[in-house]
Structure 1
């Protein structure tokens, strides 16, 4: 049975699509997706859609969880979704739905990190490592182990929900925690030190805009314009936020002003040239890396096929 909130969203999206013939796009509350939400909030469009081209609109919905986004995307109630690359790879592999990458939006540039407390001893006979039970959490752990040359046989893995990351490390329940904002900043305030972060993984932990290939064929110019204009407008707004916009972001992300500033310092938005270069030069490589990791960890059973939309005819 559908939960009430999910049912309400389905009905809203369906009604809006029929009435306004708008393209439906959604993401969760992550900071990397906020530029589009900010643009829609700025326009305060009365019909809940954003006109991108004459007579062509987009309905942008901020949802409380990635799970809800993926359910709707899988049910084809969404034309496009903002996801992390690992989420998109897992989704495509597990559903077989034909999707493509329309844009690389942002990448983690220190926002994801492995932290330790002072006195950390990497030569201990056993290292207890805490991380979130997600593909991204596992991938960060996998790459940290590779980069730090830790023997896997000495690692004791412990799954932790994010809200327990701070207590687990500061109370000595784990020796290392793989985490992100706002928990990174909270830990640093208590003396934790960064042992490894996503600065060493440039372009591997990426937020992307993925599109149903059938929707790309129908709405190619609308989506290109959305990326080139509205998305860029939203990113530019971060350089000079009004009081109202700052309040909007704090409420949307549930980060206070300091946490918001710290999170922004650990991520980077792709500009137009970087986006184009990523899609052409880097996307196949990072897809292959993520496929290998997810296959080896038995999180998927077949490689995902996730081309750049510009390569889809």
Structure 2
């Protein structure tokens, strides 16, 4: 049975699509997706559609959770979605739905990190490591352990919900915590030190725009234009926001002003040239890495097929 909020979203998106024949795109409240929400907030027309080209518009919806975005994408009520790479790979592997990557939007450049308190001893017989039970949390743990050369047998893993990351480390429940903003900044304020972060994993923890392949064939020109113009304009706004836009971001992301600034400093947004290079040169490699990790950790049963959209024929 569909939950009431999901049913309402389906009805709204379905009605909008039939009435306006616009492209439907959605994402969750993550900061990396806010450029499009900022554009819509600044320029959206009264019927909530953003005109990208003359007579060609798109409906942009900010959903409260990734789960809802994926359900709508799976029900083909969305043409496109903003997701993390691991979410897109898991979705495609588990559903078999043909999607492609239209753009790389942003990547973690220090926002995800392994932190320890002063006096941390890496030579302890056993290290207690806390992390979030998500594919991304597990991947960050995997790459941290790999990069630091820690033997797996000395690690005692502990699953932690994000809101408990700060207390778990500062109160000694774990020796290391794998976390992200705003908890990274909150821990640093309490004296925690960054042992390893995503600056060493350039482009691996990445936000992408995925599109139903049938929708790409229909809306290719609109999407290419949106990525080159509206998305880039939104990134500019995100880096130079006004007081009104700051209030919008705080409400959307539930981050305080200083937490927003810190989170943004740990993220890198792709420009048009970087996006093209990433899709051609790096996307296949990071998909292979994530496929391998998710297969080995038994989170998927077969590799995902996730080509760049321009390679779809």
- TM bucket normalised to smaller: over 0.9
Displaced runs of 4 or more, over 4 A: none
1:163 corresponds to which residue? 163
Q: For 2:211 and 2:15, how far apart are their aligned partners in 1?
A: 20
Q: Tell me the secondary structure at the aligned position of residue 268 of structure 1.
A: strand
Q: Which residue of 1 aligns with 2:56?
A: 56
Partner of 1:27: 27
**Deviation at 1:4?**
1.1
* Residue 54 of structure 1: how far off its partner (Å): 1.2
Structure 2: stretches of 5+ with no match in the other structure: none
CA displacement 1:157-176 (0-9 Å, x = unmatched): 01111001011111111110
* Runs of 5+ unmatched residues, structure 1: none
Q: Provide, for residues 25-63 of structure 1, a one-character-per-residue CA deviation record: whole Å limited to 9, x for no partner.
A: 000000000000000000132101101111111000000
SS state at 1:300 partner: coil
| Secondary structure of the corresponding residue to residue 156 of structure 1 | strand
1:241 aligns with 2:245: no
| Deviation at residue 253 of structure 1 after TM alignment | 0.5
TM-score, L = length of structure 1: 0.99
The whole-number CA distance in structure 2 between the counterparts of 1:256 and 1:193 is 22
SS in 1 for 2:61: strand
RMSD, aligned α-carbons: 0.6
What TM-score, normalized by structure 2, do the two folds share? 0.99
In structure 1, what is the equivalent of residue 308 of structure 2? 308
Kindly state the Cα deviation for residue 5 of structure 1 after the two structures are TM-superposed: 0.9
Structure-2 separation of matches of 1:6 and 1:170: 38
- How many corresponding residue pairs? 313
After superposition, give the CA deviation of every residue in 1:127-146 in whole Å (9 maximum; x if it has no partner).
Answer: 11000000000000000000
Question: In the aligned structure 2, how far is the partner of 1:309 from the partner of 1:297?
Answer: 28
Q: Report the Cα distance in structure 2 between the residues aligned to 1:212 and 1:165, rounded to whole angstroms.
A: 36
Aligned pairs for 1:192-207 (under 5 A) are 192-207=192-207
- How do 1:106-255 residues align onto structure 2 when only pairs under 5 Å count? 106-255=106-255
Deviation at 1:237, TM superposition (A): 1.1
Displacement of 1:238 after TM fit?
A: 2.2
User: Which aligned pairs between 1:64-75 and structure 2 lie closer than 5 A?
Assistant: 64-75=64-75
